[in-house]
Every structure is written in C-alpha cells, then in structure tokens.
Amino acid sequence: MNSRTITIVGAGQSGLQLGIGLLDAGYSVTLISNRTPDQIRDGSIASSQCMFDQALGHERALGIDLWPDAPPVEGISFTVAPPEAPCVKAMSWSHRLDAPAQSIDQRVKFPALMEVFEARGGKLVIEEAGVEDLERYASASDLVIVAAGKGEIAGLFERDAERSHYAAPQRALALSYVNGMKPRPEYSAVNFNLIPGVGEYFVFPALTVTGPCEIMVFEGLPGSDMDSWKGLSPQEHLENSQRILRTYLPWEADRCTEVELTDPNGILQGRFPPTVRHPLATLPSGKTVLGMADVVVLNDPITGQGSNNAAKCAAAYLSGILEHGDGAFDDTFKQGLFESYWQYARHVADWTNAMLAPPPPHALQVLGAAQENTQIAKRFANGFNYPPDFTQWFMSPEAATGYLDSFQAAR
C-alpha cells in the first residue's frame, strides 16, 4: 500500500477514472462529489459523451468497461446542407470506424463507477467543495486534483489568454435523448450535418437510464434559427428539434417522425466559451491545487471530444504520477503533469476551434474529396479517435494540398 494520499474533487469521467487507477496502484484516494449516486441517476442529462476506441481503451485497462452490450457507434457520416436549398446534400459521405465508439449516459455510468471506486477501497465523500474545503484537503493530502470546474472553485483557475482561442460562446447548445428514431440503414454512426450560417446537428445511438436511445445534438450559431432553446418545456424542446430538422435536414426529419423523449430529464440547453485555463490554482494559504480535464481545457462539443479528453487526461495524469514515484508533488511536477496532457490536448483544441469557424477552402476541398475517395473518408472518420492526426493532413492549406497531391502522384 502506497502511503501517499490524493484527494480528487469531482466524480466525473476524469476524476473517477483517475481515482480508480490510483487505487489499483496502491494509493490512498478520497473522491469528493457534490451529488450522491442516486442524485446523479435521478437527475438531468449532462452531456452527449460519445467515446471513441482509444478513450474506451483506458477504461478497458482498468476493468471499468461495464457495458459491453450497449449500442455501438460504428461509423461517421458527414453532410453539408446549404440553408438556401434544404432538400439538397451539397456534400455527403460516410465511413466505418476501425473500432466502434460508445455513449453511456453519465447518469448510468457515474453511479456505477462510484460503486467500483468504493469497492476497490476508495473513500467517497459527498459535499459541495468550496475554497475552505480545498484548504482542508490540501492540509490532509499529498496532492489535490480538481476535476470539477463549477461553483466557487471555478474562479480559482485563471483563463490562459495565449492558449484560449475564443472569449465568448460560439454555439447555442441543445441535447435531446429520444426513443423511436428510425435506425440508420447501413450501420450505426454519428450522423454529422453542417448547415452553413445556421449551425450543426449530429445524432448517434447511446445507452440511457431507460435503455437504448438516440442523442440529438444541436449546435446553433448565436442569433441563428437554431439559437432557439431558452425557456422551452421538455416537450417544446423536442418539438423545436423536429422543426429545425424539417426546415433544414429533411432526411434527418424523416427518421424522427415518431420520436419521444426518453424521460422528462432528457433535455439540456446552454452555451459556454471554449477556454484553456492555467492548471495551477493558488489557495489563500499559498498551497496549490492542480486542475484536470474540462477544468483546464474546455472545448465546444462540436467534435465530440469532451469525455475522450477527460479519459485521456486521467490516463496522462495517472501515468505521470506513477512514473514520479516518491518525488515531491511540487508546482514543477504539477505544471509538468498538465503539460504532458497538453501535448495531446492542444491538437484537439486546435481542431475543435477550427470546426467552429467557417470552413476554409482547403478544408472544403478535403471534405469534398472524401466523397470520391474512401481512404480520405476513412482517415477523417478515424481522426475522431485520435485528433492529433488531423494536424498531419487537414489543419493547414500546405498539409491538405500535400495530402491530396499524394493521391494524384500515386496514379
């Protein structure tokens, strides 16, 4: 048994995964949650959480892949629908993923992983942590990691202006968990639809508290017709979802003629600015705590990377802590732990921020070429599993031109 004690504030994807990994390595771990498992299970949806194979692999390595029979997400579909011609697909293609993805409602996953955490010897504490509580944790623990960025402690982590691309929300976000959607005929997929000047809509299968479902995700440009969610009742929220599909995406609307909400808590709407924060927060006593996952790198959901980032941040932190051995958990170590994750996360942030902007000519050229070339479609689809690959061939005009030219040279 390792004598060192670690406190993790936040029982979400990153906090639970890291906590379980540390327990398996012999550390003494306390996990702070502001909600009980029952409160999470009976509460509102919090995310769309589609996780791809690399992120799922971190769960498999810890033996917390508890839903092998959940609906798989087998591919990626991409369509551009001009708003001035809503019945036309200006661009459309799809490709299978090399390995399936999976979405488990956090109301299902987190209570189950909290049970695993306690069963493996972790201490679960239910309380709303404030600054005074962080001081108490820091006095009693060798290391405090903050994996929950809301409430009083959110303001402790300062925005990193150099690494943050946007200062304001770029999308009005809305989720609907539904039953009764007609399945995609070829294979299950994240169906991604881009409506220039209006927003994006994507949909994929998942497992929720009532069983298999589909998650509808709307990303409306501020001020657009898709920015129309505030103040709606659950039923009005669903009706607005169907209205938007009938207006802009009739092929998606045709799948949704019989849909109904999975439960009264199966909707969510909001907006936030994508933000990178400094990873160390200094408490009034001078002690520091380390942020992780969304606390320090918060991306827009447009690329579906939130839970994937959380899993990969937890894996990076776990690896760094174990490699550090008996070394001091000082500020140099804490900063270095974040930087090891940032080497991956910066590529995700760059790609996500690019997808929020109007697509440049080279991106449209590549996406158009994917209609004719299955190799390009396959590479784009599997980039969701490992976004740093986009840097090699998609993110700059030079890289995209070189990649497309390589196919001409091979002829």
What domains can be seen in the chain, in order of their start residue?
5-65+105-165+273-355 (3.50.50.60), 72-103+169-270 (3.30.9.40), 360-410 (no CATH)
Q: Given this model, what pLDDT does residue 1 score?
A: 58
Q: Given this model, what pLDDT does residue 152 score?
A: 79
Q: Give the pTM.
A: 0.96
Mean pLDDT, to the nearest integer, of 37-63? 97
DSSP secondary structure code for residue 164 in this structure: -
- Residue 335 phi/psi, 5-degree rounding, is -65, -40
Q: Which residue is associated with the tokens 């029952």?
A: 38
The candidate with the shortest Cα–Cα distance to 165, out of 48, 293, 300, is: 300
Please give the order of strands across the beta sheet that includes 280-282. 123-126, 28-33, 5-9, 143-146, 288-291, 280-282
Beta strands in 15-113 (DSSP E): 28-33, 50-51, 72-80, 91-103
**Beta strand pairing call for 91-103 and 123-126:** unpaired
The candidate with the shortest Cα–Cα distance to 248, out of 220, 286, 280, is: 220
Q: Is 128 helix (H, G, I), strand (E, B) or coil?
A: coil
Greatest Cα pair distance, the chain, in angstroms, is: 66
Q: Given this model, what pLDDT does residue 88 score?
A: 81
- Percent of the chain surpassing pLDDT 70: 99
258-307: per-residue pLDDT in tens? Answer: 999 999 999 999 999 999 999 999 999 999 999 999 999 999 999 999 99
* pLDDT > 70? residue 145: yes
DSSP per position, 182-241: PPPSSS-EEEEEEETTTEEEEEEEEEETTEEEEEEEEEEPTTSTT---TT--HHHHHHHH
Q: Is 311 helix (H, G, I), strand (E, B) or coil?
A: helix
- Residue 405 phi/psi, 5-degree rounding, is -65, -30
Tokens at 386, concatenated? 């490992």
159 pLDDT band, cuts 50/70/90, is very high
Q: What's the rounded Cα separation, in Å, for the pair 32 and 52? A: 27
Contact 210, 263 (CB under 8 A): yes
One-letter amino acid for residue 135 of the chain: E
Q: Given this model, what pLDDT does residue 410 score?
A: 64
Higher pLDDT, 90 or 317: 317
* Torsion on CA atoms 111, 52, 18, 68, rounded to nearest 10: 50
96-137: per-residue pLDDT in tens? Answer: 999 999 999 999 999 999 999 999 999 999 999 999 999 999
In angstroms, the first-to-last Cα distance of the chain is 60
167-223: per-residue pLDDT in tens? Answer: 999 999 999 999 999 999 999 999 999 999 999 999 999 999 999 999 999 999 999
Q: Given this model, what pLDDT does residue 86 score?
A: 62
The candidate with the shortest Cα–Cα distance to 313, out of 282, 268, 345, is: 345
